[in-house]
Structure 1
Amino acid sequence: MNDRMTPIPFPKLMEWILIEKEHVFGIKQIFKTTSHKYLNLFNEKLEIPCGPAAGPHTQLAQNIIAAYLAGARFFELKTVQTLDGEDLPVDKPCIRAEDECYNVEWSTELTVPEALEEYIKAWFALKLMSKEFDLGDPNGFIFNMSVGYDLEGIRSTKINTFIEGLKDASSTPIWHACIEWAKSHLQAFQCIDETYLLGISSHISSSVTLSTLHGCPPDEIERIATYLLKEKGLHTYIKCNPTLLGYDFTRTILNQMGYDYLVFDTHHFEHDLQFDQAVPMLERLIALSNKLSLTFGVKLTNTFPVQITRSELPGKEMYMSGRALFPLTLSLAYKLAHTFKGNLNISFSGGVDAYNIKGLFELGIYPITFATTLLKPGGYNRFYQIASLLNTSKEVPHKPIALSRLYTFLQTTYTDTHYTKAIKPLPARKIESSVPLLNCTFAPCQKGCPIEQDIPEYIRLVGEGQYLEALKVITLKNPLPFVTGTICNHTCTTKCRRNFYEEEISIRQVKLEAATQGFDALLETLTPPSIQSPHKVAIIGSGPAGLAAAYFLARSGMDVTVFEKRKALGGIVRFVIPDFRIANQALYKDIRLICQYGVKFELGREITSLDALKSEGFQYILIATGAWQPGHLNLEGDVPLNVIHFLEQFKSDPSVLNLGKNVAIIGGGNTAMDAARAAKRVPGVENVYLVYRRTKRYMPADTEELELALKDGVLFKELLSPQQFKEGMLTCIKMNLGHPDASGRLQPIPTEEKVNLPIDTLISAVGEKVDTDFFKMNGLPIDTKGFIIHDPFTTELLSNTFVIGDARSGPSTVVSAIHDATLAAKTILKRENLIFSSIPTSTHSLRTDEVYSKKGILKTNGSVEDESIRCLECDKICECCVDVCPNRANVTLDVEGKKQILHIDCMCNECGNCTIFCPYNSAPYRDKFTLFHTLEAFNSSTNSGLFVADFTTKAIKLRIDKKISILHAHELDDRFTLKPFILALFNEYAYLI
């Protein structure tokens, strides 16, 4: 296995197309032009002014074909230069696109002659497909060549042959090969005859985009453009760099939008083309093009160079694109358009997607090309929505460019959350498991939930208005639907694949809607079960862990009593979490649900002895006492108010609190955010400061909680480490951030500088502890940090004695408490030969067309019920690695009714994009079953896969988990779990071999 791609011969390419027809190269929604409006560009007709940028999506013929099928009609072919093929070193992986995108390659990895052949093959294939499949006008698309990077190279024989071959391919061997194949296979077509074939134009491209390297001198750029216009007669666009905006502007805008972590200096800004050099050069070239009756313009923009500081990709410098680049590119578009009073042709690429393309086009900016959005899940299928938007646009693009509208559009981008960066780093999207060779489809949201809620199922049911059924699905694993539907930290959403489209599914809100709408009906269906065991269960504590354990055990027929030392149930949720986050009524509804199963409660009774409970006949004891003890803050001077005590007082009666005007919270977790927001609501408080030794980006609090605190007006005092609190003055040491620690957060490093803050009340929120007195009194082991010493893989401390929730491992979340309760309940029920619960049975069949219709479609939140439309139903179909591969090297096979993934080695250049988006902690191009087309490639790889030595006899060389077998496919027996997969490859997908 290596990173060199092997182009598909034209006959094989057409065989693939004609066999697959309705889903060629994984394109599930094939776009057909419905409008007969055309733009005139380069004296050619253009149906839709968008397509793939010069990049990974225009390198191979199949890439261009896939883009056309999905809706693209303008193709900026990948840049060629004299340095090509194996002489061009490209570090791999070369793409990283989980949010804004980065790459470390810039021109075709093929040889220039190979690139020429690929583009001619793609052109000819599109001429055949557009006519045969009635996809649009066969003359309604444009190929735009891209060359670089200096005049000497562009004038070389190699590049000149490439340019002339695209201007007129009629004398090239590949053109004749395409014609001859089509003539000999006319019987395979219904709408194509020899007359049509002979009428296919061999003039493939009459335009060029000039790409220059950073630092290219202005006079060199002008010489190249002049050469392309005068000597080659090509309509010419010059690709410009974002560095034309200047360092100060660029740094300010990126910092303002949350990209302050990007590292770059003034080097490129000083050595690249300057704006005051660009304007007179463009004026001269415009005049020249007008004289020659050719089109001239600028292509905005190149990717933006930044330093590699965290091993994001190999090397020292990478190139940024995607949503972070859009505001910069639009800024440059406005600056140039304003200078030329709108009379400058601007082609646009840089963070464009379905959200902004229509606005750009109607301003008069086109053609528009894409790369980053196509690298994300949905892949080429994203063109369908984009093309539909432009195909149905009734507004004629402005000429000259509409400057006032462009300015208004630009101003919105600087604060639009579609382009700004979240306060905190992206969470981990992957699960820890490795991808299996077969049956890899699963719902990442479900795996991201500590109790593995059946999320796609209840989202679908809510979308259908089946609230009772949805709530039944939820409460099989979750007895606190109102609490978790309100304050769950919803880690499920961090795994949601919709994050790579626009924003996660509102899973928590859907759950709450199911609970709200289905609660009364569910209560009517519930009756206390008969007691199925002679053994009683005692649960100490009525927080989320204790309540959940009581629910699971009582539901399955256990006699359960919950002991609570306070006069009300609910623990931290009831007494500490503020009302503005969750009202007591939500908790009470969940408690009503638990009561329906006959759980008994003893309030106002504090348990101090496990032996006493055992003497009362309790066979099983669950300790769920929470974490109520104050955390330790190493601070000189006065003792601060503990956050738990403060929040208890606030929830009980905020009017009795006298905090003064200035309040400071020390800490950066969710509890600190609660305290800060609560303090803002206390009468008399004017300023609330949240003091933390790192920046917001590295606070442990959830992004949502940080944003709510900011919205409430909490003032963040970052990079301050409290040292002393005395006589109303908080003295802090100013910190700097150093290198990452083991957690990946940048380490705070103290400076010599100190900062004083006048504070009336100081609240410590540095992490609560478990009350260890109870454990010590009962002889239970405690470590030096005050945590229970226990096996991390079980909740059982002693025989039939369990510890769950915060008492087990310190302050955590409600859903983690339910997880602990689940583990303990399952252990007990297994000993009692009782069933925990049944697995929910899906009531709907797989609707592949509906699922596929969602791929690539960007759609923001609507109603809660609409979330089922946005849900990608990953539990049914994944194919993420198929979507995101530019080269179509991952394909889907239907094997015995299941979707399986095959990796095709010769089509892969190891760009690494599938690695980024695979929900497993894996690289599909290495870890999925691979088809090798040469024995050399098979032998040089460690992938599980096969090489077909003889197709007729089905002789294969097979490797599974590093074990090699040489045999014939018909000799496979049941020892080979991949037998059906391999036989399907021969019998149904032979065209892939």
Structure 2
Amino acid sequence: MSEVMTCMPFEQLMNWVLEEKKTKGTVFGQHRAYAAETDRKLNIFERNLETPIGPAAGPHTQLTQNIVASYYAGARFFELKTVQKMDGAELAACINRPCILADDEGYNCEWSTELYVPQAMGEYIKAWFILHVIAKEFDLGAQDGFQFNISVGYDLAGIKEPKVNTFIDSMMEAKDTEIFKECKQWLLDNVDKFEKVTKEDIEAIPSDICNSATISTLHGCPPNEIESIANHLFKEKHLNTFIKCNPTLLGYEFARKTMDDMGYDYMVFGDFHFKDDLQYEDAIPMFKRLQALADELNLAFGVKITNTFPVDVTRNELPSEEMYMSGKSLFPLSISLAARLSREFDGKLRIAYSGGADYYNIDRIVGCGVWPVTVATTLLKPGGYQRFTQMAEKVMADGVKEWKGIDVAALEQLAEDAKKDAHHVKSIKPLPKRKTDSEVPLLDCFFAPCEEGCPIHQDITTYVKLAGEGDYAQALRVILEKNALPFITGTLCAHNCMYKCTRNFYEEPVNIRNTKLIAAQNGYDTVIGEIKAGTADGKKVAVVGAGPAGIASAYFLARAGASVTVFEKEEKAGGVIRYVIPGFRISDDAIDKDVSFIQKMGVEIKTGTEVKSVQELKAQGYDAVIVATGANKPGTLKLEKGETINALKFLRDFKATGGKVALGKNVVVIGGGNTAMDTARAAKRTEGVEHVYLVYRRTKRYMPAAEDELLEVLEEGVEFKELLSPVSLENGKLLCKKMELGSMDASGRAGVTETGETEEVLADTVIVAVGEKVPTEFYEANGIAVNERGKARINDKTMETSAEGVYVVGDGARGAATIVEAIRDAQVAAKAILGHDIVKGQPVPGTEKDCYSKKAILKESKDAASESERCLTCNKVCENCVDVCPNRANISIKVPGMAMNQVIHVDYMCNECGNCKSFCPYASAPYKDKFTLFASEADMADSTNDGFAVINPETKECKVRLLGQISDCKADDANDKLYEGLRRLICAVIDDYSYLIMK
């Protein structure tokens, strides 16, 4: 696939903007326009500015459509992508692709414009004209309410070269350029296409586009070179000038400590850039000299914070040896540098800012007097350019003061706060896998990642909306359709759904688990009265074990009409949840409520009854037996000396005695999973215990426990002993080998090796939480075949074992798993026994308008109502790939006769940055895997994508590649061999989105 972007003619761009706005109500996919209050203008460089924010020099200011999308959403200060003497094909050949990774903190290995410098100039001038006309035509603000700022680099010789020098001169005064004349003439010739823009408005569009520049320099650029460029721009070009500064000015020790303290200890960078880059002691006198020169010339001087922060590629994050870090991890460095320079200059140095600015900090940055502020990484995440709207509204809510200096104390406080701010501190755990294993289809690709990630595919978007509306009973009915244990899962579920939630890329996931619990608690009294068994179908089933898997099995079977008896050896139903999970995690009342559902259905629960022979049950006339005994065989860890206690035995004793277990003062818990966390918290509550130590051979980051459980353990004062491997227990001390982390693999998991050193941990008792085992002996005694690991051999599609009519579900099937996986097993077994489906899906709630109204709005979790407002209903509208594409190369298309919007990829607008791959919930890259529109047959030949090129729009003749085979197609011919859905899609593009077709 070609990564070369094709610049659209001004005519196509204008037709696109006007037609899309008229027919779709959007502009380059932006659904909400920001209308500036024209009487609240700021001033910088003696020009007006309606908001002090905009896109940074980078992927969002490379093409005309990028700038237009930014403006429509609320940007008003545009730092245009850097130009330099190396450009076009020469530069593109140096950029490895994909070149952007922004799923958490950001990284990139691209820098200046990939266009030829004259092309870049053309894009900026086209954008200049479009912004002037849409400002009035769409009532977005004053026609002089925005500014362009050129960015040039990287050395004086290059800046003086004819093409860069011409670029600078032309951006300062464009009236004699061919592209300026072309744009102006097209507007004059087509003035009848506008309702509000007049000929006089077009004639009045100024030709002096830029009066300011930002100097971008490469790492290692000497101070005299930087100053000579600034002198040139001041003296020869008379431009107001910013100099981009690197965080390396802070020094290696500060950067390393800050990153380590904030959880970015895995980030690798050496000290050589800090030694080679501009030094602080050289920067300050240079800035003072340049400030004096600017004052003498009646120009403005300032610094732009910050430029790039280079780090090493260590896990194949991008196909490069070095990449540039940005986003939330860059913010504490950048804002610290801003604070330090502001103190140095008593707040008198003008600072333009970029480096991790986003919705959560932009008002404080601007409030300190640091502006304009430009952003990039936040726009690379779902919501994309539309994020500008909320940022602009927030910044302008209380008004922005004219610049009279920087509030140094406030800026210093912001810098200190940033180091502890949850929006910038790295999560304890690595990012979970957020993609499905399936590939993105050419059509109908929208789905809710939360529902796909849930083992039972609960209708999450439906019940979240119902709960948000206060209809808890109906929400609970929806939950109960697929989930037999709403109280237990609403409290204890491992919530893989939340790890998959698209909201993770905004701020935090929708609190799905708690919403389920709220619905259960508030809807129970109504719904329990409705619960009843299904019409009897003659099936008789025995369930062995009344833990989660057993209860769920009984629920689905009885609801469908089977006669069910549950056999439980304990005195009450609930299994591990009742007898092992501590009461501070879940109450008996919550367990009882889930049990009550099967009791209402008439399920007989025989407690205090241990089943040893499955065949004896079969002999009693049961058509099928479900074994749901769990993984009840204790896991062990043998020490060279000393005895340990099994975690489940301890937890059972703890719960039975109310915490009166003799453990001594010092307790060590070995393990890193959720059971280890429960054990540590219970031990902390045990009488007589003073210290609880959690020993693990890696660090917290690599513990399998869920992050929320880790945080709870930390909050309760459990002391983590990381990088220790236990050896022996003797004389009240646990001897451990010291370990060290090695390099990380592609999954982000670090290797671990011994250091040769040891450490002792005080330990009166050592509790081992290393996993439980399935009851192999029980299986073998009952004629159930087992594998080499002692697990029952089962048919994954039915859960049936080698013993006919005997099924194994839950932990006993595959080893310790999650509660919701046990429910899934119960569904599978029940369906196999009954011979028909036992659950059904629910309609997707809301409207497309509702979905678009939530996109790009950052809003943190509060209650069930707010969760409904935060849920993006991705199975109605996903469009992550559309949102995050800087170049607008992924387009959402409405196709007549198709319920779901379709996404196509536009080849000629794409530079293969790869950003859409990060956020597509499929295991795919939309820029490679979605049906693609090519500008020509030649472009199609330069690609392997499935897609089409329109040869003749009038006759709808096309070239189509499908499954690698190219053929001729007449899209409106129903008898054409092309798949009907794709035929409709192509027709929709030609008929309703003709502005996409390059002429």
Which of the five TM-score ranges fits, normalised by the shorter chain? Answer: over 0.9
| Superimposed CA distance per residue, residues 429-449 of structure 1 (whole angstroms, 9 cap, x where no aligned partner) | 111111111111111100010
Is the Cα contact below 8 Å between 1:239 and 1:302 reproduced in 2?
Answer: yes
Q: Which runs of 5+ in 2 are unaligned?
A: none
CA–CA separation in structure 2 for the residues paired with 1:919 and 1:769 = 34
Query: Which runs of structure 2 are paired with 1:294-693 in the superposition (5 Å)?
Result: 294-394=299-399, 396=401, 399-533=404-538, 535-693=539-697
CA–CA separation in structure 1 for the residues paired with 2:30 and 2:618 = 65
Secondary structure of 1:898's counterpart equals: coil
Relative to structure 1, is the Cα distance of residues 761 and 780 closer, same or farther in structure 2, using a 3 angstrom cutoff? same
CA–CA separation in structure 1 for the residues paired with 2:55 and 2:441 = 32
Is the Cα contact below 8 Å between 2:917 and 2:924 reproduced in 1?
Answer: yes
Structure 1 residue 744, shift from structure 2 partner: 5.1
Secondary structure of 1:26's counterpart equals: coil
| Superimposed CA distance per residue, residues 729-756 of structure 1 (whole angstroms, 9 cap, x where no aligned partner) | 2111111122446975222211211112
Structure 1 residue 782, shift from structure 2 partner: 2.7
Is the Cα contact below 8 Å between 2:315 and 2:748 reproduced in 1?
Answer: no
Structure 1 residue 838, shift from structure 2 partner: 3.7
Which deviates more from structure 2 when the two are superposed, residues 387-396 or residues 215-224? 387-396
Query: Which runs of structure 2 are paired with 1:182-193 in the superposition (5 Å)?
Result: 182-193=187-198
Q: Partner letter of residue 72 of structure 1?
A: A
- For 1:870, the equivalent position in structure 2 comes to 870
Secondary structure of 1:637's counterpart equals: coil
TM-score calculated relative to the size of structure 1:
0.98
Structure 1 residue 963, shift from structure 2 partner: 2.5
74, 78, 81: which one aligns with 1:75: 78
CA–CA separation in structure 1 for the residues paired with 2:306 and 2:797 = 53
Relative to structure 1, is the Cα distance of residues 741 and 800 closer, same or farther in structure 2, using a 3 angstrom cutoff? farther
Structure 1 residue 35, shift from structure 2 partner: 4.9
Query: Which runs of structure 2 are paired with 1:682-831 in the superposition (5 Å)?
Result: 682-740=686-744, 745-797=749-801, 798-830=803-835
CA–CA separation in structure 1 for the residues paired with 2:112 and 2:287 = 25
Which deviates more from structure 2 when the two are superposed, residues 756-765 or residues 316-325? 756-765
Structure 1 residue 864, shift from structure 2 partner: 2.0
Q: Partner letter of residue 168 of structure 1?
A: E
Which deviates more from structure 2 when the two are superposed, residues 334-343 or residues 846-855? 846-855
Is the Cα contact below 8 Å between 1:442 and 1:878 reproduced in 2?
Answer: yes
- For 1:929, the equivalent position in structure 2 comes to 931
CA–CA separation in structure 2 for the residues paired with 1:489 and 1:142 = 49
Identity of aligned residues (%): 51
CA–CA separation in structure 2 for the residues paired with 1:106 and 1:530 = 68
| Superimposed CA distance per residue, residues 85-123 of structure 1 (whole angstroms, 9 cap, x where no aligned partner) | 001121100000000000001100000000011101100
CA–CA separation in structure 1 for the residues paired with 2:231 and 2:966 = 59
Q: Partner letter of residue 123 of structure 2?
A: E
CA–CA separation in structure 1 for the residues paired with 2:277 and 2:796 = 57
Structure 1 residue 781, shift from structure 2 partner: 2.2
Structure 1 residue 919, shift from structure 2 partner: 0.6
Relative to structure 1, is the Cα distance of residues 743 and 389 closer, same or farther in structure 2, using a 3 angstrom cutoff? closer
- For 1:55, the equivalent position in structure 2 comes to 58
910, 913, 916: which one aligns with 1:914: 916
TM-score calculated relative to the size of structure 2:
0.97
Q: Partner letter of residue 481 of structure 1?
A: P
Structure 1 residue 168, shift from structure 2 partner: 0.4
CA–CA separation in structure 1 for the residues paired with 2:378 and 2:209 = 27
Q: After the TM superposition, which segments of 4 or more aligned residues of structure 1 sit over 6 Å from their partners?
A: none
Query: Which runs of structure 2 are paired with 1:121-160 in the superposition (5 Å)?
Result: 121-160=126-165
272, 278, 283: which one aligns with 2:277: 272
Q: Partner letter of residue 983 of structure 2?
A: K
Structure 1 residue 954, shift from structure 2 partner: 2.1
CA–CA separation in structure 2 for the residues paired with 1:688 and 1:962 = 61
- For 2:3, the equivalent position in structure 1 comes to 3
| Superimposed CA distance per residue, residues 252-283 of structure 1 (whole angstroms, 9 cap, x where no aligned partner) | 01100000000001010001011111110000
CA–CA separation in structure 1 for the residues paired with 2:638 and 2:38 = 71
Structure 1 residue 596, shift from structure 2 partner: 1.1
- For 1:889, the equivalent position in structure 2 comes to 889
Structure 1 residue 973, shift from structure 2 partner: 3.0
Is the Cα contact below 8 Å between 2:315 and 2:745 reproduced in 1?
Answer: no
- For 2:967, the equivalent position in structure 1 comes to 965
Is the Cα contact below 8 Å between 2:971 and 2:984 reproduced in 1?
Answer: no
Query: Which runs of structure 2 are paired with 1:95-174 in the superposition (5 Å)?
Result: 95-174=100-179
Relative to structure 1, is the Cα distance of residues 337 and 770 closer, same or farther in structure 2, using a 3 angstrom cutoff? same
Is the Cα contact below 8 Å between 2:798 and 2:832 reproduced in 1?
Answer: no
Is the Cα contact below 8 Å between 1:973 and 1:979 reproduced in 2?
Answer: no
Secondary structure of 1:25's counterpart equals: coil
Is the Cα contact below 8 Å between 2:464 and 2:864 reproduced in 1?
Answer: no
Structure 1 residue 391, shift from structure 2 partner: 2.7
In the alignment, structure 1 residue 283 sits paired with structure 2 residue 300: no
Q: Partner letter of residue 6 of structure 2?
A: T
CA–CA separation in structure 1 for the residues paired with 2:132 and 2:220 = 40
Which deviates more from structure 2 when the two are superposed, residues 847-856 or residues 508-517? 847-856
CA–CA separation in structure 1 for the residues paired with 2:787 and 2:506 = 45
Relative to structure 1, is the Cα distance of residues 404 and 698 closer, same or farther in structure 2, using a 3 angstrom cutoff? same
Q: Partner letter of residue 748 of structure 1?
A: V
CA–CA separation in structure 1 for the residues paired with 2:611 and 2:645 = 28
| Superimposed CA distance per residue, residues 702-749 of structure 1 (whole angstroms, 9 cap, x where no aligned partner) | 111111111111111111111111232211111112244697522221
CA–CA separation in structure 2 for the residues paired with 1:444 and 1:155 = 52
Relative to structure 1, is the Cα distance of residues 292 and 739 closer, same or farther in structure 2, using a 3 angstrom cutoff? closer
CA–CA separation in structure 1 for the residues paired with 2:33 and 2:732 = 69
Q: Partner letter of residue 2 of structure 1?
A: S
Structure 1 residue 972, shift from structure 2 partner: 4.4
| Superimposed CA distance per residue, residues 817-846 of structure 1 (whole angstroms, 9 cap, x where no aligned partner) | 10111110111111xxx551343345x5x4
Structure 1 residue 390, shift from structure 2 partner: 2.3
Secondary structure of 1:422's counterpart equals: coil
CA–CA separation in structure 2 for the residues paired with 1:716 and 1:932 = 56
Q: Partner letter of residue 264 of structure 1?
A: F
**CA RMSD, Structure 1 to Structure 2 (Å):** 1.3
Q: Partner letter of residue 864 of structure 2?
A: V
- For 1:899, the equivalent position in structure 2 comes to 901
49, 65, 69: which one aligns with 1:66: 69
Which deviates more from structure 2 when the two are superposed, residues 708-717 or residues 189-198? 189-198
Secondary structure of 2:98's counterpart equals: coil
Secondary structure of 2:865's counterpart equals: coil
**Matched pairs, number:** 987
CA–CA separation in structure 2 for the residues paired with 1:398 and 1:709 = 47
Structure 1 residue 194, shift from structure 2 partner: 2.0
- For 1:985, the equivalent position in structure 2 comes to 989
CA–CA separation in structure 2 for the residues paired with 1:919 and 1:264 = 31
Is the Cα contact below 8 Å between 1:959 and 1:965 reproduced in 2?
Answer: yes
Q: Partner letter of residue 648 of structure 1?
A: R
Q: Partner letter of residue 85 of structure 1?
A: G
Q: Partner letter of residue 355 of structure 1?
A: Y
CA–CA separation in structure 2 for the residues paired with 1:262 and 1:397 = 39
Secondary structure of 1:970's counterpart equals: coil
Structure 1 residue 217, shift from structure 2 partner: 0.3
| Superimposed CA distance per residue, residues 683-715 of structure 1 (whole angstroms, 9 cap, x where no aligned partner) | 211111111111111111111111111111111
Query: Which runs of structure 2 are paired with 1:207-226 in the superposition (5 Å)?
Result: 207-226=212-231
